[in-house]
Chains A and B, each alone.
Chain A
Amino acid sequence: MRVPLRYILLRILMGVLMLLILLTVVFFLLHILPGDPAREMLGEHALPSQVDELRHYLGLDKPLYVQYVDFMTNMFHGNLGSSFYSGETTVNELLYALPCTMELSISALVLSVIIGLPLGMAGALKKGKVPDFVIRIFSLGSFSIPIFWLAVMLQVYVALHTGILPIQGRNSFMLAPPRITGFVTLDSILTGKWSSLIDSLAHLLLPSVAISFFYSAIISRVSRANMIETLREDYILAARAKGLTENKIVYKHAFRNAMLPVFTIIGMQLAELIGGAIVTETVFNLPGMGSLLMQSIFRRDYPVIQGCVAAYAISIVVVTTIVDCIYGFLDPRVSI
């Protein structure tokens, strides 16, 4: 392994630190919140004694610091409590929602890269000329479009009016594959249900497109900038001096070098995407972590709110660590 163990451990440590800080902040902020979860759950007509009983049952009447300590110790044992609303363990709720978000994020990222990377490269190669200008305008425009606006418009104009693509959800009725991993595309492949696969992909398309405009703009800009920088390097001039054709210079030397930092950025975009999907999930009614977070906020479902924050933090750490490890394999300069 080129990437040392020590480095991974450091990353994990930072992740744990981030987790602790975030959860502590969220925990205390939540308890500042006006509103009483027990009362919310029982409704307006509940008797005070019933509310008190429920509060006691939920452990909400203990002193704040005791609740905090309980919460932290529980968390280290993998126990995130149970949803106030559904009664399901928080962990289960999260495990149900996470694959949906991951699937959407990954497909949006793939689309963003497919669109953004070539555009960025083309812009760099034609720097200063008309195609570059057009690409940059397009990028800036995509970067400025609010994702929810785009999502709603796509939903109505493409799905509703033309009927080509589905309006919402992950699968049409009766076409959902049996749940193995939670990724509907994977599950369809694993169980060989091809109609489910097509259905799943169709449902993923519009949400991914809505997200990818924004992120492809970022990727396009970054890859363009890196490509321009790389093309200025001496070794590119050396390659040209050696008599190599322009194509070879660009695709063999320039591309490989320019892609290294871009790769890291793409990884970071994935981390951001995971969070940014929240709006798209709301528009297209996808049962991911974004929807879960929003619902639990409205329901004052403390354990789930905290659980979501924790889950996001953990996924970020995992994603960035994996990206760094892969980077270590790609760049020969990263050594022990």
Chain B
Amino acid sequence: MHEYSKSTAFSILIGAIIVIGLFSMMIFGPFILSYGPLEIGGNALAPPSLNHLMGTDSVGRDVLSRIMWGGRYSFLIAMIAVGMSSLIGTFSGIASGYVGGKIDRLLTLLVDCLYAFPIYIMAVTVAAILGPTVVNLAFSVGIAYIPRYFKVMRSIALSVKEKMFIEAEKCLGAGSFYIIYHHILPYIISSTIVLISMGVAQSILMVSGLGFLGIGIQAPTPEWGTDLSSGRNYFFNGAWWVVFFPGLMIFLAVLGFNLLGEGLNAIFQERGVETYGT
């Protein structure tokens, strides 16, 4: 067993704890909660108490259950977004790098244009235009991350081509494919894992950001960003829990995935596997 540096172990541990904790909360939480997210179970704007651990919102719904349900949406959209953009980005990147030539140049040009444009604006505009369904939101968020996958996978494809060329020159025959398979595949896997982890983190941020702006998940469906936004006015008047807890959840979720991604990246590096460091 390898000895990893303390900071790596720390990152992975805390990250894993948070992520697993959040996942279990989302999956099992609704079963142990006393209130539903749309259920008016108490007085409006009641501060945290034993009945309502995170208080109630402006209509009297339990904040805690809204958060647990809301997490499902955030994660769902983030997963779809990351899945979509990693698939598209990976395949197009590898294909483009491998094929080369004019197609490659054209695609790279297009991707560079896309890459330069601020992610937020693109997501906001597309989300606003397409409308706030889960799939559309996933699409708006995902589209911004395609360039990153494209670039990384393309550079991997290029390095594969180079290695194959060299191996061919050395006339190793079938052995070369074996080597490449064992050397390049770990590289692809390690890069993808790290990128996906960080991608989920950023997607959650973006989804909640869109919710906050009013073009994400719409009320009364629970969503961390949307709830935070509707809670703002009440926050001004003293009801801190309607804003604090949704934000805290976003923070924890993002932190968890970021830690996980960082830790995985460090593990790969310490084991000597090439990886794409963010």
Given contacts A136-B7, A149-B243, A312-B118, contact A33 B235 (CB under 8 A): no
Given contacts A149-B243, A152-B228, contact A144 B251 (CB under 8 A): yes
* CB-defined contacts of A29 to chain B, threshold 8 Å: 125-126, 129-130
Among B109, B117, B246, B262, the most chain A Cβ lie within 10 Å of the Cβ of: B117
Among B238-256, those with CB < 8 Å from A are: 240, 243-244, 246-247, 250-251, 254-255
Instruction: Please give me the residue from chain A that is nearest to B231 by CB atom.
Output: A152
| Size bracket of the A interface | 35 or more
Closest Cβ–Cβ distance, residue B265 to chain A (whole Å) = 12
* CB-defined contacts of B255 to chain A, threshold 8 Å: 140-141, 144
* CB-defined contacts of A312 to chain B, threshold 8 Å: 117-118, 121
Given contacts A225-B277, A293-B121, A297-B215, contact A279 B209 (CB under 8 A): yes
* CB-defined contacts of A38 to chain B, threshold 8 Å: none
Instruction: Please give me the residue from chain B that is nearest to A167 by CB atom.
Output: B236
B39 within 8 A of A: no
Bound complex: CA A141 to CA B252 (Å): 9
B225 within 8 A of A: yes
Bound complex: CA A276 to CA B254 (Å): 17
Does the CB pair A30–B129 fall under 8 Å?
yes
Instruction: Please give me the residue from chain A that is nearest to B238 by CB atom.
Output: A156
* CB-defined contacts of A47 to chain B, threshold 8 Å: none
Q: Tell me if B's interface is mostly helix, strand, loop or mixed.
A: helix
Among A22, A128, A317, the most chain B Cβ lie within 10 Å of the Cβ of: A22
B181 within 8 A of A: no
B103 within 8 A of A: no
Tell me which of A144, A148, A282 contacts B228 (CB under 8 A): A148
Does the CB pair A153–B118 fall under 8 Å?
no
The contact string, 1 if C-beta is below 8 Å from chain B, for chain A 1-37, is 0000000000000100110011000100110110000
Number of B positions contacting A (CB below 8 A): 49
Does the CB pair B235–A156 fall under 8 Å?
yes
* CB-defined contacts of B247 to chain A, threshold 8 Å: 146, 148-149, 152-153
* CB-defined contacts of B209 to chain A, threshold 8 Å: 146-148, 279
* CB-defined contacts of B6 to chain A, threshold 8 Å: 133
A219 within 8 A of B: no
Among B244-278, those with CB < 8 Å from A are: 244, 246-247, 250-251, 254-255, 258-259, 262, 277-278
* CB-defined contacts of B208 to chain A, threshold 8 Å: 146, 148
B201 within 8 A of A: yes
Q: Apart from A18-B113, A153-B244, A278-B120, what are 7 other A-B pairs with CB-CB below 8 Å? A: A22-B113, A156-B236, A160-B236, A275-B117, A275-B120, A278-B124, A313-B117
| A interface residues, Cβ below 8 angstroms from B | 14, 17-18, 21-22, 26, 29-30, 32-33, 128, 133, 136, 140-141, 143-149, 152-153, 156, 160, 221, 225, 271-272, 274-276, 278-279, 282, 293-294, 297-298, 305, 308-309, 312-313, 316-317, 320
